[in-house]
Structure 1
Amino acid sequence: MRKVILDTETTGLDFRTGDRIVEIGCVELMGRQITGQRYHVYLNPERLVADSERIHGLSDEFLADKPKFAEIAADFMAFVRGAELVIHNAAFDVGFLNNELGLLQQESIEQLCSEVIDTLRMAREMRPGKKNNLNALCSEFGVDNSGRQLHGALLDAELLAEVYLAMTRGQNSLEMNFDSPAVDYSLGGTRQRPPLLVLPASAAELADHDRVLAEIAKESKGKCLWRDLESAGQA
């Protein structure tokens, strides 16, 4: 399945109050490989960027001669059509994109794309109680973000592509091995198993375990199933 890692920069936080998109960055993945195909455009938002310039560094002067969304809509739609979109905090970007498309009476993102994958939701499930912004995930998964001084849609999409691949590593490894010798389960046969090796947790690992449980309990306001099972003698 073709995936498109996408990010946007905007004039503010809420399209419902008139905020618009100023930059779109997309990176293509095919078969868990970054293909080198990208879509990137700066946009004239038809309004002032105001305080958002300190986030993305794009000034009114810089954006003044850039195309409006209506001028690039067809190219953007062609690039993402049929793909799975991978977005960090997808509700934000999808809301802005659907607003822009809606102003032109075009198809929504949900109609254009086969699926939207939210890496923020994935990260919260994998790392409950921890910071899960892009910088934190780059640090967690060893992705070099030293060039990220300001937010930038294309740079952030490139970083998110690396983070997404790291987050999902191993999910495609459930393959049947047809080269393994067949096991004879005929009547009277016995199945030989090697002895089970049990490795006890180290003191450092136990301390990390307790720390994670404490973070989960704090995040869930005291509800931690593992601790409940430990108290009941089942864990």
Structure 2
Amino acid sequence: MRQIILDTETTGFDPAEGDRIVELGCVELIDRQFTGNNLHIYFNPDRDSSPGALEVHGLTTEFLSQFNRFEDEAARIFEYLKGTEIYIHNAAFDVKFLNAEFGRLGMPQIETVAAIHDTLAMAREQYPGKRNSLDMLCERLGVSNAHRTLHGALLDAELLAEVWLAMTRGQFGLVMEHRDQPSQREGQTEVIRFDASVLRVEVASETELAEHAAYLEALDQAAGGVSLWRKLTEPAPAA
């Protein structure tokens, strides 16, 4: 499955008032693995950013004037996004702007050709009652954002990709399918024999072990102490 983690920067907060996208950042994953086939584009919006937006992203009118307009890149963007799962933090905002840009050109709405997922809604469900901004999620899940002094579409998409992987890691496990078996009858328990000796043992690398240790630290931080995983898998200290 192809996943796109997406973020935009804009001149303001409402495309109905003429605000435009000034930066698009997309990070591609296939089956939860980074591919490096990312998309990062600045746009000339033909207008100034509002003071509030400029304070967030720092992209001046003079800087943006050297780039193409959205309509010059729209077909390429649409083909890149079509048929994918798109993950966006506070998706309604970015989708509203993307649809406004595509709508000006008579192109389809993005949610008609791609599956849109809101990571903010996912975070609120997973961490109810807590602050779930991208910065707070980075802190909670052990994703370093020390280099994030201003918002940037590609930078924020890269951080969100790490956050999404951390948030959903427990949802994707080892699934063993059996085929050409009679369907299970209602009320019956199906027993499948499986010879574990045929599995190849892959030893974790030093990098993977370090990533695992960092993830456990994030679990401890989220649990406010020693996580259940450590309690169940690590021996208790000697008295």
Match for residue 136 of structure 2? 136
The question of whether the paired residues in 2 share the 8 Å contact of 1:143 and 1:163 is answered with yes
Match for residue 119 of structure 1? 119
SS in 2 for 1:97: helix
Q: Displacement, 1:180?
A: 4.7
Separation of aligned partners in 1, 2:96 and 2:88: 12
Residue identity over aligned pairs, in percent, reads 56
1:66 is the counterpart of 2:82: no
Q: Aligned partner of 2:100: which letter? A: N
1:3 is the counterpart of 2:3: yes
SS in 2 for 1:29: strand
1:176 is the counterpart of 2:176: yes
Match for residue 53 of structure 1? 54
Bigger Rg over Cα: 1
Runs (4+) of structure 1 exceeding 2 A deviation are 176-181
The question of whether the paired residues in 2 share the 8 Å contact of 1:12 and 1:19 is answered with yes
The question of whether the paired residues in 2 share the 8 Å contact of 1:89 and 1:118 is answered with yes
Separation of aligned partners in 1, 2:145 and 2:170: 23
Match for residue 19 of structure 2? 19
1:87 is the counterpart of 2:88: yes
SS in 1 for 2:37: strand
Separation of aligned partners in 2, 1:121 and 1:71: 32
Q: Displacement, 1:50?
A: 2.7
Match for residue 108 of structure 2? 107
The question of whether the paired residues in 2 share the 8 Å contact of 1:77 and 1:112 is answered with no
Unaligned 5+ residue runs, structure 1? 182-206, 210-235
Separation of aligned partners in 2, 1:50 and 1:80: 28
SS in 1 for 2:8: strand
SS in 2 for 1:36: coil
**TM-score normalised according to structure 1 size:** 0.75
Unaligned 5+ residue runs, structure 2? 178-193, 198-222, 226-239
Match for residue 39 of structure 1? 39
The question of whether the paired residues in 2 share the 8 Å contact of 1:27 and 1:157 is answered with yes
Deviations 1:176-227 (A, max 9, x none): 383359xxxxxxxxxxxxxxxxxxxxxxxxx969xxxxxxxxxxxxxxxxxx
Q: Displacement, 1:4?
A: 0.4
Separation of aligned partners in 1, 2:172 and 2:154: 27
Separation of aligned partners in 2, 1:176 and 1:69: 45
Separation of aligned partners in 1, 2:41 and 2:224: 44
What does 1:207-222 align with in structure 2 at a 5 Å threshold? Answer: none
Separation of aligned partners in 1, 2:168 and 2:89: 14
Q: Displacement, 1:174?
A: 4.9
Separation of aligned partners in 2, 1:27 and 1:138: 17
Separation of aligned partners in 2, 1:66 and 1:42: 6
Separation of aligned partners in 2, 1:100 and 1:130: 33
Deviations 1:146-182 (A, max 9, x none): 110000000000000000000000211152383359x
Aligned pairs, how many? 183
SS in 2 for 1:170: helix
Q: Displacement, 1:112?
A: 2.3
